[in-house]
Amino acid sequence: MNAAPRTLVVAPNWVGDCVMAEPLFRALAASGRELVALAKPGLHPLLALFPGVVDCAAKSADRRATVTAIRAAGCTEAVVVPNSFSAAWTVAAAGVPVRYGYRGDLRGPLLAPAVGRPRGRRSQVEDPRELVAAIGIAPPDSWRPRLELPEELLQRGRARLARAHLVTDGAPLVGLFPGAEWGPSKQWPWRRFAELATELRRARPDSRSAILVGPKETWLGVRVYEESGKIHPVLGPDLDLAALAGVVAHLDVAVSNDSGPMHLAAALGVPTVALFGPTDPRRTAPAGDGHAVLHRDLWCSPCFRRRCPLLHHRCLKGLAVAEVAAAAIERLPPR
């Protein structure tokens, strides 16, 4: 009896892109493969939750160290999800014999086989469709990313919320995500998040709000906390991605910029109000039903710039607090 193929999956560098690649992991796992995820160490706790992942290998800024990690993983094939030259080069340099990936960026000779890139505009979650076909496995049962957390992780998340006095019987819980690591042009002004927290408290006094931020966004969370009356606790700076997922899974609604936590919340089945500015919701809107995507379709959108080149940032500043609050309240459980 043949052993299960051991497959290296070169994961994206961003949290949201990793979450959107979950259906690919699911399809590979369903085919009987054991998966080793190659990614930055900070992504390992998240990827360890994906179907079929038995190990994670560290992607380093030192290419030689990355090549060494790939060789140590002992994989006979690789699926290169990022479309960069360096992602294909490291796998080829490590000597993995079968290397699936999309052509482009002069990397065709580094892939075996190189797969033609998909054409047309579609949701990013379906980008691996041609890779799945080239590998010769069945597509996933759904292209909607989904995460199922172990009970122990859910209990840890609930305990963390309880320590922040956010677990009240029957009280709906809203998560506010003011950050976006990609750049400031993706961030709805932090003062609007503070105003939103106040408005939600006024409109639904039975609800509770938590401000959730990453390690690099602590000061942003503190600003929202102070501006909104110092009553909405800040969570997240000291949590890894798995622990963060354990907290997010208990939310009733998430309000987020186009960011990794937005996709994480959607994959956990949390109704999400997604605030889009310089990026394209046709590509990266939260997948699934029950979400609200708010954006202004300006002549300059989407520009995909880290800072507004016109300096007005109207694509996000044009979203009013009342509009965002209404979308969040509509998704809260009834009183």
Asked whether residue 250 carries a pLDDT value surpassing 90, the answer given is yes
Taking a C-beta distance cutoff of 8 angstroms, is the pair 213, 117 a contact? no
Percent of the chain's residues with pLDDT above 70: 98
Q: Which distant-in-sequence residues (6+ apart) come within 8 Å of 141 by Cβ?
A: 26
Residues 201 and 84 reside in one and the same domain:
no
Q: How much is the pLDDT for 311?
A: 66
Note whether residue 259 is domain-resident.
Answer: yes
Residues 110 and 163 reside in one and the same domain:
no
For the ranges 92-101, 115-124, 233-242, 259-268, the lowest mean pLDDT is seen at: 115-124
Note whether residue 146 is domain-resident.
Answer: no
Percent of the chain's residues with pLDDT above 90: 84
Residues 115 and 224 reside in one and the same domain:
no
Q: Phi and psi (nearest 5°) for 103? A: -65, 170
Query: Taking the complete model, does pTM exceed 0.75, yes or no?
Result: yes
Q: How much is the pLDDT for 167?
A: 83
Mean pLDDT along residues 164-180: 91
Q: Answer with the residue of higher pLDDT: 302 or 19.
A: 19
Note whether residue 312 is domain-resident.
Answer: yes
Asked whether residue 335 carries a pLDDT value surpassing 50, the answer given is yes
Residues 12 and 161 reside in one and the same domain:
no
Residues 202 and 272 reside in one and the same domain:
yes
pLDDT in tens, 40-93: 999 999 999 999 999 999 999 999 999 999 999 999 999 999 999 999 999 999
Residues 129 and 159 reside in one and the same domain:
no
Q: How much is the pLDDT for 132?
A: 97
Residues 77 and 184 reside in one and the same domain:
no
Mean pLDDT along residues 256-263: 96
Of 77, 100, 135, the one marking the end of a domain is 135
Note whether residue 141 is domain-resident.
Answer: no
Residues 54 and 192 reside in one and the same domain:
no
Q: Tell me the average pLDDT of the chain.
A: 93
Q: How much is the pLDDT for 3?
A: 67
Query: Would the CA dihedral through 218, 57, 283, 141 be positive or negative?
Result: negative
Residues 169 and 123 reside in one and the same domain:
no
For the ranges 30-34, 104-108, 227-231, 284-288, the lowest mean pLDDT is seen at: 104-108
Note whether residue 30 is domain-resident.
Answer: yes
- Nearest-angstrom CA–CA distance, 89 and 246: 35
Q: How much is the pLDDT for 37?
A: 98
Residues 159 and 267 reside in one and the same domain:
yes
Q: How much is the pLDDT for 4?
A: 75
pLDDT in tens, 181-198: 877 888 999 999 999 999
Note whether residue 129 is domain-resident.
Answer: yes
Instruction: Please state, in angstroms and as integers, the Cα–Cα distance from residue 44 to each residue in 7, 41, 225, 240, 293, following that order.
Output: 16, 5, 30, 9, 29
For residue 76, count other CB atoms closer than 10 A to its CB: 12
Of 135, 169, 203, the one marking the end of a domain is 135
Q: Answer with the residue of higher pLDDT: 327 or 303.
A: 327
Q: How much is the pLDDT for 1?
A: 42
Mean pLDDT along residues 209-231: 96
Residues 175 and 50 reside in one and the same domain:
no
Mean pLDDT along residues 279-292: 93
Note whether residue 1 is domain-resident.
Answer: no
Residue-range definition of the domain harbouring residue 170: 155-331
Of 135, 170, 196, the one marking the end of a domain is 135
User: Based on the structure, what is the number of domains in the chain?
Assistant: 2
Note whether residue 285 is domain-resident.
Answer: yes
Q: The domain that contains 320 carries what CATH number?
A: 3.40.50.2000
HSE-up (13 A, CA, CB side) for residue 149: 25
Asked whether residue 2 carries a pLDDT value surpassing 60, the answer given is no
Residues 127 and 211 reside in one and the same domain:
no
Q: Which distant-in-sequence residues (6+ apart) come within 8 Å of 174 by Cβ?
A: 200, 207, 208, 209, 210, 251, 252, 253, 254, 255, 328, 332
